[in-house]
Structure 1
Amino acid sequence: MFTGIVKGTARLAKLERKQGLYTLTLDFPPDFDAGLAIGASVAVDGVCLTVTRHASGWAEFDVMQESLVRSTLANISEGQRFNVERAAHDGAEIGGHPLSGHVDCTASIVGIETPENNKVMRFEVAPEWMHYIFAKGYIAVNGCSLTVSDVDRATRRFSVWFIPETLRATTFDAKQLGDMVNIEIERGTQVTVDTIRTYLDERLGPLLPRLEALLGGQGTLLEQTIAALPPSTTPDKP
């Protein structure tokens, strides 16, 4: 498990491409790998990778086909920098929110604004993932725990704000329009949304798409409507 609090950036020193498998050698920031052992987990731009070789200041990782397909790691190059975080240990402070390191999808950067002492980025995702993204909810972008500031479901876009410390510790300050990032949705939100949708599908069947279309035309999300109902009318949540 990870907390989404990025501890620095690592540089890709060597990339070996094989059929269905990449091998990465990363150079770490000072003291990042103290006590790191073979078999340990490190989040690299939000992707949980296992250490296969290690010496002071660097480590090697294998990236399997599934991770390459789902993340941005399929399109990387030597010299590139990544957000990195060690796995959380027992008793660690959860400064962000719990992350698995299992990336769900990628998103493209479609907007960048720079108010004084801040940066705002706008991302666009595939429609099926918008069900799980809510204003003021958590989301992980390239392994960084962030709060969604606003959501536009019609365009499948959401925004987040970055404070100077986050920009200093991560790679976000170097990102540009059109760049792709890794997204991990918040698991509690996913469970709640999927439970509601399964409950409604079992009871409404073919009427469910019509209800969603009707609510969508009014700018309302199905899950938001159900959440507003009295407790006696909503499904039990795990």
Structure 2
Amino acid sequence: DTARFDLIIETLRATNLGKLDVGSEANFERAARIGDEIGGHNVSGHVNCVAQLESVEATDENRRLLFSLPKDVGRYVFAKGFVAVDGCSLTVGEVERGDERDSFSVYLIPETLRVTTLGGYTPGDAVNIEADASTVAVVETVARVLAEKNLELSSL
């Protein structure tokens, strides 16, 4: 199956889509309808940042991908939380907070490797990251309330 999309300059600036060649594979699915089963978390397609794939570790049963991303988006990524990587809803494994960048891992099971493009990724690849919207709302709300009380998230 093939599909064609029009991209605006902001999309090309904020995502990895401008680096795809004609004929490249990409992950996408039709919008959910009310009453449809959701097999992950809600993904809007609003990319927060482009992250870098740092390493891939393969075992007989799964594959672990480690990504680094800017700290301003990393604040929304938590172990056992959700993140979309190139449009695929995934559960976060481990998270490491760095001085300049944060990192997180995901584990891909055989079915995910079969039905997505994620199995073909190699270290150095740029991927689109969409943080879970519910997590973003909670983090931003808590940060705002704490700021009103002259506190910071990092001080807790």
- When normalised by structure 1's length, the TM-score is 0.62
Is 1:117 the counterpart of 2:117? The answer is no
Aligned to 1:100: 44
Identify which of structures 1 and 2 has the higher relative contact order when contacts are C-alpha pairs closer than 8 Å and 6+ apart.
2
Is 1:81 the counterpart of 2:19? The answer is no
- Runs of 5+ consecutive residues of structure 2 not aligned to the other structure: none
Question: How far is 1:88 from its partner?
Answer: 1.0
Is 1:177 the counterpart of 2:132? The answer is no
Is 1:165 the counterpart of 2:145? The answer is no
Q: Write the deviation string for residues 19-68 of structure 1: whole angstroms up to 9, x where unpaired.
A: xxxxxxxxx2xxxxxxxxxxxxxxxxxxxxxxxxxxxxx44321111111
Question: How far is 1:79 from its partner?
Answer: 2.8
Question: How far is 1:78 from its partner?
Answer: 2.1
Question: How far is 1:115 from its partner?
Answer: 1.6
Structure 2 residue matching 1:62: 3-state secondary structure:
coil
Q: Write the deviation string for residues 211-235 of structure 1: whole angstroms up to 9, x where unpaired.
A: 73xx5xxxxxxxxx4xxxxxxxxxx
Aligned to 1:156: 102
Distance in structure 1 (CA, Å) of the matches to 2:4 and 2:60: 39
Question: How far is 1:143 from its partner?
Answer: 0.7
How large is the RMSD of aligned CA atoms in angstroms? 1.5
Deviates more, 1:74-83 or 1:166-175: 74-83
Question: How far is 1:97 from its partner?
Answer: 0.9
In structure 2, give the amino acid aligned to 1:187: A
Structure 2 residue matching 1:63: 3-state secondary structure:
coil
- When normalised by structure 2's length, the TM-score is 0.92
Distance in structure 2 (CA, Å) of the matches to 1:174 and 1:95: 22
Question: How far is 1:185 from its partner?
Answer: 0.5
Question: How far is 1:179 from its partner?
Answer: 0.1
Question: How far is 1:90 from its partner?
Answer: 2.3
In structure 1, give the amino acid aligned to 2:45: G
Q: Write the deviation string for residues 99-144 of structure 1: whole angstroms up to 9, x where unpaired.
A: 1111111110001100222100000001101110000001110111
Is 1:71 the counterpart of 2:15? The answer is yes
Aligned to 2:84: 140
Structure 2 residue matching 1:100: 3-state secondary structure:
coil
